A and B are shown apart, each in its own frame.
With several copies, the nearest count.
Chain A
């Protein structure tokens, strides 16, 4: 279980002071898949950083399975928004994906298997030996996703992980994430700007207001668990839900103006 209680974060540097998060409270149950949407600059990345223990909040509390977070909790994987910079340019694609597994002390043969599977799942078979900077933007992002997938985390935080890939690949990756979620029963917190995506993927959508940021609304996505790109998106309930989300975000942005 992931609990965020009264979370607040203020960035201070010199005279500039930005209240990125004012007061966030929500919980994600184990095995849940929650999508997070909100206007650009509202603090989603900040929130993910706090949850993953990479950033100390100014106030409030983050707990994973009851334990306060003060460093990256074990079994958590993060896909960073800055995919380009989060890959290690001095390592090949394979090494990038494999390194966290080595750290987890996964046996060599199993590691091989996991890496190959993950790269295959994101459609990057054949680029194992390339360096990240020899890949296109979308391919780099997929390496970052493969790294998280191969890690087989219990909790997966993803920050706009599909921003740089084309529509078709995106659909494939969405299905990949859902199948992973079902297969491994991972808890997933997924930040996206694509409203359709959030409804398609999530069991719940949490909408953030624009700055000063609070939780604007939460929505349970009561679509059937079996989803597919063609039928689910055509489902009238889907359209209804996406309209709801859209309206809330409109509201959030208006309030800010």
Chain B
């Protein structure tokens, strides 16, 4: 346990330490000393601020992420299982995937207005791709003997999906979900750069525009912390869901 905590904090501690020392007498306007940033952190992120800016951001983030997960996995399974469907829609998906969300924001605004709906859609639009792609690949890579077994024993329909395809593709879907999580955070920020009046991304951009540089850095650090906590939660969930897989891989390694 102690070892695990050590693993988690060792490197960040060293890096932050180095940053603190190296930046201590920084004159540069845009990279102020870490000391100033930390002071700003305490001053800036009060409980009120968290409630007013971080909570709405998180709500949008969760809504967007969950929606992307559901759509991504569902679509990914369908596309992964059906070769012709895959051939048909792949170029269209690639087309949309290559369009930068910031460019699309105006278009999305046309259809979804300027409320939270728009921001959620931007998040979905941006972070669905790793989920979709990984699901497709995971589904395509299900062991043929496993598939044959399922067919032979009449494991078809929903059971085939929930008992065979999804668990088997599970590890790769998890890889996609994990990647999507950090992209979702990025898009949360991007979406809040447009037509927002609150939110973490909005606040950071606002700091940046008003040249409140230590505050801006403190926001970036908060984002990192947020990502870290979310990914920790994600890993817990992943470990539960993929226990068999971790065991399978660990079993023969350590014996």
CB within 8 Å of B: which residues of A?
9, 11, 13-14, 49, 52-56, 71-72, 74, 76-78, 80, 82, 85-91, 99-100, 102-104, 131, 133-134, 147, 151
B170, CB-defined interface residue at 8 Å: yes
Is B148 among interface residues, defined by CB-CB distance under 8 A?
yes
Contacts A9-B255, A80-B148, A102-B159 hold; do A131 and B248 have CB atoms under 8 A apart?
yes
Whether B154 lies near A86 (C-beta < 8 A) is no
Residues of B within 8 A of A88 (CB): 146, 149, 163-164, 167-168
Name 19 interchain pairs, CB-CB below 8 A, sorted by A. Answer: A11-B255, A49-B255, A56-B255, A71-B151, A72-B153, A72-B154, A82-B145, A85-B146, A86-B149, A88-B149, A89-B244, A91-B167, A100-B155, A103-B159, A133-B247, A133-B248, A134-B247, A134-B251, A151-B153
Residue with the greatest number of chain A CB neighbours at <10 A, chosen from B148, B152, B247? B152
Asked if residues A99 and B163 are in contact (CB atoms below 8 Å), the reply is: yes
A76 proximity list for chain B (CB < 8 A): 152
Which residues of the other chain, B, contact A151 by a CB distance below 8 angstroms? Answer: 153
Q: How far, in angstroms, from A80 to B153 measured CA to CA in the complex?
A: 12
Say how far B141's CB is from chain A's closest CB, in angstroms.
11
Q: Mark B225-255, 1 if CB is under 8 A from A, else 0.
A: 0000000000000000000110110111011
Secondary structure of the A contact surface, majority rule: loop
Complex contacts, A9 vs chain B, CB 8 Å: 255
**When A99-B153, A103-B159, A104-B154 are in contact, do A86 and B148 touch as well, CB less than 8 Å?**
yes
When the two chains form their complex, are residues A55 and B255 in contact, meaning their CB atoms are under 8 A apart? yes
Q: Which of chain B's residues have a CB closer than 8 A to the CB of A53?
A: 151
Residues of chain B lying within 8 A (CB to CB) of residue A74: 154
Q: Residues of B contacting A71 with CB < 8 Å? A: 151
B154 touches A103 (CB 8 A): yes
Give the chain B neighbours of A49 by CB distance below 8 A.
Answer: 148, 255
The interface residues of chain A lying within 8 Å CB-to-CB of B255 are: 9, 11, 49, 55-56
Per the 8 Å Cβ criterion, residues 106-146 of B in contact with A are 143, 145-146
Do residues B244 and A90 form an inter-chain contact, with CB atoms below 8 A?
A: yes
Complex: A74 Cα to B167 Cα, angstroms: 25
Is chain B's binding surface mostly helix, strand, loop or mixed? helix
**Chain B residues near A (Cβ < 8 Å):** 143, 145-146, 148-149, 151-156, 159, 163-164, 167-168, 170, 244-245, 247-248, 250-252, 254-255
Q: Does the CB pair B148–A54 fall under 8 Å?
A: yes
Give every chain B residue within 8 A of A52 (Cβ-Cβ): 152
Which residues of the partner chain A approach B244 to less than 8 Å between Cβ atoms? 89-91, 131
Inside 8 A of B143's CB, which chain A residues have their CB? 85
Whole-angstrom distance from the CB of A58 to the nearest CB of chain B? 8
Q: Are A13 and B156 in contact (CB under 8 A)?
A: no
Closest to A56 in B: B255
Determine the distance from Cα of A74 to Cα of B153 in the docked complex, in whole angstroms: 8
Q: With A88-B164, A89-B244, A90-B244 in contact, is A77–B153 under 8 Å at CB? A: yes
Q: Separation in Å of the A243 CB from the closest CB of chain B?
A: 35
Which one of B153, B155, B170, B251 contacts A90 once the chains associate, using CB atoms below 8 Å?
B170
- Structural contact, A13 and B251, CB atoms closer than 8 A: yes
For residue A78, which residues in chain B have a CB less than 8 angstroms away from its CB?
148-149, 152-153
The smallest C-beta distance from A163 to any residue of chain B, in angstroms, reads 15
Q: Which residue of chain B is the closest to A87 with respect to CB atoms?
A: B149
A226 to B168, CA, bound (A): 44
Which B residues are CB-close (under 8 A) to A102? 159
Q: Which residues of A contact B156 (CB under 8 A)?
A: 103
Contacts of B152 in A (CB 8 A): 52, 54, 72, 76-78
Residues of the B chain whose Cβ atoms lie less than 8 Å from the Cβ of A14: 247
Nearest-neighbor residue (CB-CB) of B254 within chain A: A56
Considering the complex, give the chain B residue whose CB is closest to the CB of A57. B255
| A67 to B: closest C-beta gap in Å | 16
CB proximity of B133 to chain A, nearest CB, Å: 21
Shortest beta-carbon distance, B100 to chain A, in Å? 35
- Would you call B247 and A13 a contact (CB within 8 A)? yes
- Complex interface: chain A residues within 8 A of B245 (CB): 89-90
- Given A77-B152, A80-B149, A133-B248, 17 extra CB contacts under 8 A: A13-B247, A13-B250, A14-B247, A54-B152, A55-B255, A56-B254, A76-B152, A77-B153, A78-B153, A80-B148, A85-B145, A85-B146, A86-B146, A88-B164, A100-B153, A103-B159, A134-B247
How many angstroms from the CA of A131 to the CA of B167 in the assembled complex? 14
